[in-house]
Amino acid sequence: MSPDTFTDFSIHVAPTDDGGTDVAIFGELDVATGDQAREAIAPVLDQPKGHVVIDLRACPFIDSTGVGVLVQAALRLRDRQRTLRLRGVGNRVRRTLDLAGLTSSELIEIEPERGKPQQ
């Protein structure tokens, strides 16, 4: 898919009351949106402390580029003794994460699926 053909994609970053950061991804996390996702997430990863939760409830699809974005984020956080958590991982996205070996990895924590976030 070329960048000209992908549909709506956005990322909302919000601080939490306990000093962490929630990152909600709306749309597919793939080769067409990977760079945009990396740029939006980078400042969050550079913070010295606080949890990071990436909310994937509104992300229906992830490809190998999207997996790479998540792995790079998790590795940067691990270097700072922080953890990446994924919220609301749907079945299709979970299957991709399973194939990449991330659902059984200690690198990323995966929370149970809940309802979709509001845009």
Q: Which domains does the chain have, with CATH numbers?
A: 10-110 (3.30.750.24)
Q: What is the pLDDT of residues 29-61, one digit of tens each?
A: 999 999 999 999 999 999 888 899 999 999 999
For residues 60 and 85, what is the distance between their CA atoms, to the nearest angstrom?
17
Q: Are 24 and 12 in contact (CB under 8 A)?
A: yes
Tell me the HSE value of 119 on the side-chain side, using a 13 A CA sphere.
Answer: 11
Helices 34-45 and 64-79 meet at what angle, rounded to 10? 10
- Give the model confidence (pLDDT) of 65-119 as tens digits: 999 999 999 999 999 999 999 999 999 999 999 999 998 889 999 987 565 555 5
Residue 19 has pLDDT above 70, yes or no: yes
Structure tokens at 60: 């229906």
Task: Return the percentage of the chain with pLDDT > 90, whole number.
Answer: 77
